[in-house]
């Protein structure tokens, strides 16, 4: 029997499925696409031209291309052709162009001196002025160096016209192309650049310390407020929830006012004869402490709310029975409350880990990876590489490779948490329902 399709449910699920495709799956696919390219500001994203400059010539010389070929490319040639003759007629007169055509049409001169001599030796329309001869000779200059070609075919044609051996064409085409190409070198750089390992260590420190603080302190607040009167517990939770609902810019601005050399801490310490200093960026240790506190308080607020709700769902009969059996508060927490919180702890730990791996806005607003890149985490490095760096050349491909690595690390971290928390056991049906 063919099962019936519930079209109404599909209508309601449609927006959710579309949102998942647009805002979750599509960005991951696009990140993977960019990660295997060398896209950057210099290459653009829509393709490029073909141009050989002195930089490319120098690289080709270091890579071992024949010196004679490179010298031939660098030496400008002068070709008497229709393009130059038309320009010469506009610069001087048609008679000069016609006489030059009749004597030298199709002739190629190896240097400017020979071209100028031909212009000077015209019988009836000789160009006597040295300045005018140089300007006229420039009209016939034909060199592929620093010339821009829109297509590969046009560039290969120019190579052939300049008598470049065909076996060197592929090398020159590859070196001169200014657009993006497919490559796996981004991932090679991830494992060879010394800065990559520093970003990885910084990320491990950031996620580890912040996760420990936010989950641990959030659990502590949830348990302690559970035993307080309802009014007091609600007030404390509302105060601790403020960091999450404040705009990040305003929240970090308050920390800056608190820690900078003109802020609250320096003002108070000056009363005791201490010099003012920037407590946020003074040392790497202070920077890490502030970053962990800034992000930790935000994570604590969410953990506190989730844990507090989970504790309130525990049947009170279990706690009353424990009190009758003589259990104190610590024993209730250890043997009743914590075992019931495995699901919420798994969720908060996984969610916070993935959030910390990919978030960098609080670090960007507070230290921007300083001092001296000592707080530059992986996600912030991806942002700086792809969208905002001091060099000016934004490397979209390398930044996407950084981001794609974070996606893989996040998946592995989730699988590890499922294993540690015995996820399969958590989703089995309770024995009382069997």
Question: Residue 125: is its pLDDT beyond 80?
Answer: yes
Question: Residue 95: is its pLDDT beyond 70?
Answer: yes
Q: What is the CATH number of domain 195-377?
A: 1.10.3720.10
Contact 375, 209 (CB under 8 A): no
Instruction: State the average pLDDT for the chain.
Output: 87
Q: Which residue has the higher pLDDT, 142 or 51?
A: 51
Span 295-332, pLDDT tens digits:
999 999 999 999 999 999 988 888 889 888 888 889 99
Domain ranges of the chain: 54-176, 195-377
In degrees rounded to 5, what are phi and psi of residue 177?
-70, 125
What is the pLDDT, as a whole number, of residue 429? 64
Confidence of residue 215 (pLDDT cuts 50, 70, 90): very high
Question: Residue 4: is its pLDDT beyond 70?
Answer: no
Confidence of residue 393 (pLDDT cuts 50, 70, 90): confident
Q: Which residue has the higher pLDDT, 336 or 11?
A: 336
Question: Residue 83: is its pLDDT beyond 90?
Answer: no
Contact 150, 176 (CB under 8 A): no
What is the pLDDT, as a whole number, of residue 158? 84
pTM: 0.77
């Amino acid at each position: 029997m063919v099962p019936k399709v519930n079209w109404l449910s599909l209508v309601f699920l449609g927006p959710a499925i579309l949102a998942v495709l647009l805002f979750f799956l599509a960005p991951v696919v696009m990140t993977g696409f960019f990660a295997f390219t060398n896209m950057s500001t210099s290459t653009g994203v829509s393709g490029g031209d073909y141009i050989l400059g002195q930089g490319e010539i120098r690289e080709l010389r270091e890579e071992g291309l024949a010196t004679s070929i490179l010298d031939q490319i660098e030496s400008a040639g002068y070709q008497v052709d229709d393009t130059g003759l038309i320009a010469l007629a506009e610069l001087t007169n048609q008679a000069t162009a016609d006489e030059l055509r009749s004597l030298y049409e199709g002739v190629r001169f190896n240097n400017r001196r020979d071209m100028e001599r031909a212009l000077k030796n015209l019988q009836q329309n000789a160009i006597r002025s040295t300045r005018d001869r140089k300007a006229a000779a420039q009209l016939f200059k034909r060199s592929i160096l620093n010339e821009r070609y829109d297509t590969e075919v046009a560039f290969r044609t120019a190579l052939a016209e300049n008598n470049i051996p065909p076996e060197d064409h592929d090398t020159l085409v590859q070196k001169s192309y200014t657009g993006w190409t497919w490559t796996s070198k981004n991932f090679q750089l991830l494992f060879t650049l010394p800065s990559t390992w520093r970003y990885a260590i910084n990320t491990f420190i950031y996620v580890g310390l912040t996760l420990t603080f936010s989950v641990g302190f959030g659990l502590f607040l949830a348990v302690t407020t559970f035993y307080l009167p309802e009014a007091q517990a609600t007030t404390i939770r509302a105060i601790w929830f403020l960091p999450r609902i404040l705009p990040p810019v305003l929240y970090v601005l308050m920390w800056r006012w608190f820690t900078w050399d003109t802020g609250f801490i320096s003002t108070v310490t000056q009363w005791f004869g201490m010099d003012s200093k920037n407590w946020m960026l003074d040392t790497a240790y202070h920077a890490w402490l502030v970053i962990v506190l800034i992000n930790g308080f935000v994570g604590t607020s969410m953990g506190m709310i989730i844990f507090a709700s989970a504790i309130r769902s525990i049947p009170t009969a279990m706690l009353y029975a424990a009190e009758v059996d003589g259990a104190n508060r610590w024993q209730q927490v250890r043997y009743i409350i914590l075992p019931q919180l495995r699901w919420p702890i798994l969720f908060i730990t996984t969610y916070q880990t993935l959030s910390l791996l990919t978030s960098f806005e609080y670090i960007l607003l507070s230290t921007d990876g300083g001092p001296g890149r000592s707080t530059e985490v992986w996600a912030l490095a991806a942002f700086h590489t792809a969208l905002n760096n001091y060099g000016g050349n934004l490397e979209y491909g390398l930044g996407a490779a950084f981001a794609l690595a974070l996606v893989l690390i996040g998946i592995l971290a989730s699988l590890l948490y499922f294993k540690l928390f015995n996820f399969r056991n958590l989703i089995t049906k309770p024995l009382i329902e069997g």
